[in-house]
Amino acid sequence: MAEFPFLIWAREGAARTGVIATPRGDIHTPAFMPVGTAGTVKALYLDQVRSAGADIILGNTYHLMLRPGAERVKRLGGLHQFMRWPYPILTDSGGFQVFSLASLRKMSEEGVSFQSHIDGSRHSLTPERSIEIQADLLGADISMQLDECVGNPCERAEAEAAMQLSARWGARSRAAFGAREAQALFGIVQGSTYPDLRKESVDRLLEIGFDGYAIGGLAVGEGHQAMLETIEATTPLLPEHRPRYLMGVGKPLDLLQAVARGVDMFDCVLPTRSGRHGQAWTWDGPVSIKNARFAEDPEPLDARSSCPASSQYSKAYLHHLFKAGEHLGAMLLSWHNVAFFEALMAQMREAIEAGEFEAMRRELSARWSSQASAVSAEA
């Protein structure tokens, strides 16, 4: 297996901060990975993503294998060169997107065959093909095993079958990946919200052995409290010396609470998706810049931020851009949101080192909860 040293610098309770040292650069944890689905973080230049504080981004196997094609990306120098991002890239396995196709897919022990949402062409994805695409063709620094993700609510029998299949696919992914010095492979814990299934999944993955361990199958409808309970039941089972990655999560409050439970890495489309729809994430909670109250607001979203989108444009101007249908509005708000998420992670890292994380968690949780209540009352 690759030796990506994971050095833990400080702890406070279950929260921890440190660095994953990779050949393409250090990943400071807790880390948030902006999602670059099709070789781009939507509406942003990658130098903006980097300047916002991102050490690593996520690429999507499903979308890249369909368009422009993984073999083409390989011929053009690999994903790093293709998209002009020389820093670490983690790729998902493609499983979540394939399994969300529902009627367009067909499952088997061997893998999954599916119909492209783009042109209807047929494709297949096996654990071995997923590893080939991620590690050999795209050249990801961190690849993910192929797994089966189930939604919620989920009957126990379905959750157990998916967990067992994911474990078998994990072993095949590990075998296909082999020994690599400059690339890593993460396993994925499944089991829905059933603690005993999560434990069995962890046990199976530890027998196989991975460079890091992801918690999958959450943020699929189980609700905030059930998600936190599942994380809390799972992270203590995972190796201390390996990174822990919570897949597809989430809102700032989710990140804060998951870090308190020992999670090191996150990804989510929320910052850019919200930005494209006029929602800005702030230290006082989310705001809709389309709201009429911002039409003559001369203040920026965050005067203290080092991000120009946050500190150099008035809310009135951003409001105008969205009302006028100008693309610049989505670009600026996406940039602001990514910068906010990265600033939140940086502040969590600093707080853990200073022994002040729990105070930060309590203060922000109370602020965001009261803001949410005020919005609900207003509505």
Judge contact between 278 and 294, C-beta under 8 A.
Answer: no
- Of the candidates 55, 92, 147, 264, the residue annotated as catalytic is 92
Q: Reduce the secondary structure of the chain to three states and give it as a string.
A: CCCCCEEEEEEECCEEEEEEEECCEEEEECEEEEEECCCCCCCCCHHHHHHCCCCCEEEEHHHHHHCCCHHHHHHCCCHHHHHCCCCCEEEECCHHHHHCCHHHEEECCCCEEEECCCCCCEEEECHHHHHHHHHHHHCCCEEECCCCCCCCCCCHHHHHHHHHHHHHHHHHHHHHHCCCCCCEEEEEECCCCCHHHHHHHHHHHHHHCCCEEEECCCCCCCCHHHHHHHHHHHHHHCCCCCCEEECCCCCHHHHHHHHCCCCCEEEECHHHHHHHCCEEEECCEEEECCCHHHCCCCCECCCCCCCHHHHCCEHHHHHHHHHCCCHHHHHHHHHHHHHHHHHHHHHHHHHHHHCCHHHHHHHHHHHHHHHHHHHHHHC
The neighbouring-strand residues paired with 54 are none
Question: Which positions ≥6 away from 120 have C-beta within 8 Å?
Answer: none
Question: Which positions ≥6 away from 313 have C-beta within 8 Å?
Answer: 300, 301, 332
- Of the candidates 55, 136, 267, 302, the residue annotated as catalytic is 267
Cα distance between residue 208 and residue 242, in whole Å: 14
From residue 159, how far is each of 106, 152, 198, 230, 342 by CA, in Å?
18, 10, 10, 14, 33
Q: Does 267 participate in catalysis according to the annotation? A: yes
- Backbone phi and psi for residue 266, each to the nearest 5 degrees, phi listed first: -145, 155
Q: Does 26 participate in catalysis according to the annotation? A: no
Residues identified as active-site = 92, 267
